Every structure is written in structure tokens, then in C-alpha cells.
Amino acid sequence: MTMHLITGGAGFIGVNLIRRLLAGGQEVVVVDDMSRGRIENLGELEADPRVRVATLDCADADGFGAFVAGLDGRVDDVWHLAANSDIPAGIADPAIDLQRTFLTTFGTLAVMRRFGIGRLHFASSSAIYGDFGETVIHEDIGPLEPISNYGAMKLASEAQIRAAAEAWLPCARIFRFPNVIGVPATHGVILDFVEKLRATPDRLDVLGDGTQQKAYLHVDDLVDAMLHIAALDGRYRVFNIGPSDDGITVRRIAETVRDAASPSAAIAFGEGNRGWVGDVPRFRYSVDRLLATGWRPRLGSQAAMERAVAEIVGARA
């Protein structure tokens, strides 16, 4: 049985990954400071004897190391998902991204090196690219000029991992996620709209004019791609993950959420095509490298969004 340590494992993507690893007969250690994650997100998984949960800050390499020392050298793979996932919060206070995104990577690498753990899978983001407008973004495009602190700290994290792969880390995978949707949602545009409609059932205020267009991937497809990439050969590999379409607009998401959660609500759009500072209004993502390895998403952006809206509205009913 392989032992997988998942930083940020009590968050949205973490619990979906854990479910799949357990279904595959694996053992799991969750390390999460519970800043945004919740034990309840694990649901019935918490009671599984193959799951161990530690509440700690993985930027604290000493505390994290003391915990890993108690695992008797049994950790095979680390999935580093811990980060600040609240992009506007990181713009308001850059220290949040420094601590939760950059320094968690630093701490995780320090612990892996100390205990000779040789396989790292890292949740990076399309935010590392910045704003390329209509240009199709493939993995080797440049220059990389992220426009949010979140993207900057993800890019700096990738750079740390690249250097580690040169010096001592035998296997590193970088996953550049698009917008990922599903349950248990901890953040994101769908959850935001659902919560706004609960507060004011007759009105939905949208940040920006609704024309922002992005690709959305359902979390089931995402986890599928992560496990697929993890099984590929190579020391250091980087992949965009996403659907193969150009995405859907915020207007369409707002209308779908409104129809599902509060059909009589009026939608009020804001101005400009950026929801917030650091928002990329449109990006076109190439997943050709991943498709060439034989992986295919089951849902495109539209179908993923419709399914996630039903799941999130259902979970909050």
C-alpha cells in the first residue's frame, strides 16, 4: 500500500483526491492548518482507518518535520495542495500568499528533503501565466508575468520545485489547474453567486460586466488527470490541465445559478471585464500536451458548470 501525504487535504480538491486514492486501495495522511479546510469536508472518509489527519501549518518546517518523523519513513508521495485559494484576500494583504502559498512550498520541500521523500505533485495554476489575451497558452509560453500575488507565489513555488528537481528531488509533477468546480466548494464564482442569492434572493450582483470567459473543469476530471499524470515517466514534468474548449462566460454562470437557486432574481452586472484586480478576463488554454498522453476530460466547461451548480445548490439546500 502506497502512503500519500496531502497538504491542504481538508480543502475542496484535497478531499476529492483522497476519495479516489482510498478507492484505489491507498493510505492517506492529511496535513492542513484548517485556515480554509474543514474536517467535516472529509465526511465519512475521516473514519476510514487508512486516513490520518494532522492539523498543522506546513510552512512551519520544524513542526511539520516533527509530525512526519512519527510516520516511520513510510510516506511515498506528497501532493502539495496547501495554499491561499482566496485571490482577492491575497491582493488586499500579500503576506497571506507569501505565507500560505510560497512558504508552504518551502516547508514541504524542506521536510521532503529531510526525510528522503522523492515524489512531489504540485497544484499550480493558470494564474502563473498572467494575461495573454486571445493568445493560446501552452506550457512553454513566456514571459510569465502573473498579475496577482497568488499567481506570483505559485510561479515562485514552481521555481523552487524546479531547482529541487535539479539538486535532489527525483520526481516532480507540476499541474497547472484552470478553474476547478464541484463540491465541497470552499470558494469560486458559483459558490459566491449561491451565497449572494441566499442573502438577497431577489437580486444577484455580479462583479464585472459578465463577459469574462474562462475554462472550467469538474473536480472529478481534474483528479483523473492528476492521477494520470502522476503515473507518467520522467523527473520533472509540467502540464496544463483543463477541458479542450474555450470556456464559458460569467453571464452564463450567473443565469444558470439564478435559474437553479432563485429563479425570480434580477441579475445586476457591474462595469468592465475584470471581476477584481488580478482577474484575467479571458484566457485560452492549450491542453494539447496532456491530450497527447491519452487523457480526455469527460465534461466540457458548460456541462461541468451545470453539474457543479446542481451539486453546490443541492449541498446548500
Ligand X SMILES: NC(=O)c1ccc[n+]([C@@H]2O[C@H](COP(=O)([O-])OP(=O)(O)OC[C@H]3O[C@@H](n4cnc5c(N)ncnc54)[C@H](O)[C@@H]3O)[C@@H](O)[C@H]2O)c1
Interface positions with ligand X (CB under 6 A): 7-8, 10-14, 31-37, 57-59, 81-83, 85, 100, 104, 123, 125, 177, 179-180, 186, 188
Instruction: Kindly state the smallest distance separating residue 5's Cβ from ligand X, in Å.
Output: 11
Instruction: Kindly state the smallest distance separating residue 164's Cβ from ligand X, in Å.
Output: 17
Pick the closer one to ligand X by CB: 18 or 59. Answer: 59
Residues 6+ apart with CB under 8 A from 74: 3
Instruction: Kindly state the smallest distance separating residue 137's Cβ from ligand X, in Å.
Output: 14
Pick the closer one to ligand X by CB: 203 or 286. Answer: 286
Instruction: Kindly state the smallest distance separating residue 138's Cβ from ligand X, in Å.
Output: 17
Pick the closer one to ligand X by CB: 239 or 262. Answer: 239
Instruction: Kindly state the smallest distance separating residue 10's Cβ from ligand X, in Å.
Output: 5
Pick the closer one to ligand X by CB: 98 or 203. Answer: 98
Instruction: Kindly state the smallest distance separating residue 81's Cβ from ligand X, in Å.
Output: 4
Set of cell numbers at residue 313: 445548490
Pick the closer one to ligand X by CB: 10 or 78. Answer: 10
Pick the closer one to ligand X by CB: 106 or 203. Answer: 106
